[in-house]
Amino acid sequence: MEKMMQFKGKALPLADIDLPRIGALIGVGEDEIHAVLDVETSGSGFDDQGRPKMLFEPHIFWRQLGPGAKRDQAARERLAYPSWGEEAYPNDSYPRLIKAMMIDAEAALRSASWGLGQIMGFNHEDAGYGTAQAMVEAFTESEANQLDGMVDFIKATHLDDELRGHEWAAFARGYNGPDYARHGYHKRLAAAYARWAAIRDTPFELAS
């Protein structure tokens, strides 16, 4: 049996320069990046055990597995079900994720959201990685890797224009899904941006 991932690496925090440096790659300042991070993870990419912040989604695992014996087993163990919201999520998703990985490791990793930007594992290619496992392993090393993946995802899904233009509803629809308004996601983004816009930014110029 393959050795189970430990989900722990160097867990390096962001440096002050990382937000303007990485944001500049898509033409935004640190205020726009801060807004997304605040809404997704309150600005921190690691939990109190030094693991990437993560939420395992059983309804996504259901889809990722597809019909068959693996999904039947996952359903019996309440690791997979057809619709979001069938059960309350635990405070710590890692025990459930690890059980799901024993059924299908890559499908389980694709069924969770990861790091500062809560990028879904199934979006690993848009985040710049060949597999969900490769993405997660990089995310254990640093918040800068997590932020890079988030910005790559925003660029790959053509949401950078909306972020630059502060079109919060359009950005929220693409980033968070069609139910964004129900959760006030766009309003929280706008409020977070307004808070950060009132704070002096770290000076940065993109090298030519």
Residue 119 and residue 134 in contact, taking contact as beta carbons nearer than 8 Å: no
Mean pLDDT of 81-96: 92
Domain ranges, residue 191: 15-47+142-202
What sign does the CA torsion over 41, 162, 138, 70 have? positive
| Tokens representing residue 79 in the block | 């690791």
Q: How far apart are CA 134 and CA 195, in angstroms?
A: 34
Q: Which residue has the higher pLDDT, 4 or 166?
A: 166
Domain count, the chain: 1
User: Which residues are within 8 A (CB) of 195 and not within 5 positions of it... i.e. 6 or more apart?
Assistant: 38
> Exposed/middle/buried for 69, CB within 10 Å: 0-12, 13-18, 19+?
exposed
pLDDT per residue over 2-48, tens digit each? 567 889 999 999 998 898 999 999 999 999 999 999 999 888 899 99
In a domain, 155, yes or no: yes
Q: How far apart are CA 197 and CA 191, in angstroms?
A: 10
Band the pLDDT of 201: cuts 50, 70, 90.
confident
Place of tokens 């993560």: 54
Mean pLDDT of 164-193: 94
Residue 29 and residue 23 in contact, taking contact as beta carbons nearer than 8 Å: yes
Band the pLDDT of 202: cuts 50, 70, 90.
confident
Q: What pTM was computed for the model?
A: 0.92
CA distances from 121 to 32, 105, 133 (A): 23, 11, 8
In a domain, 110, yes or no: no
Mean pLDDT of 149-166: 97
| Tokens representing residue 194 in the block | 């307004």
Band the pLDDT of 53: cuts 50, 70, 90.
very high
In a domain, 32, yes or no: yes
Band the pLDDT of 79: cuts 50, 70, 90.
very high
What pLDDT does residue 16 have?
Answer: 85
In a domain, 106, yes or no: no
- The total number of residues shown for the chain amounts to 208
Q: Which residue has the higher pLDDT, 109 or 1?
A: 109
What pLDDT does residue 122 have?
Answer: 98
Indicate whether 1 pLDDT > 50.
no
In a domain, 183, yes or no: yes
In a domain, 161, yes or no: yes
In a domain, 28, yes or no: yes
Q: Which residue has the higher pLDDT, 166 or 16?
A: 166
In a domain, 55, yes or no: no
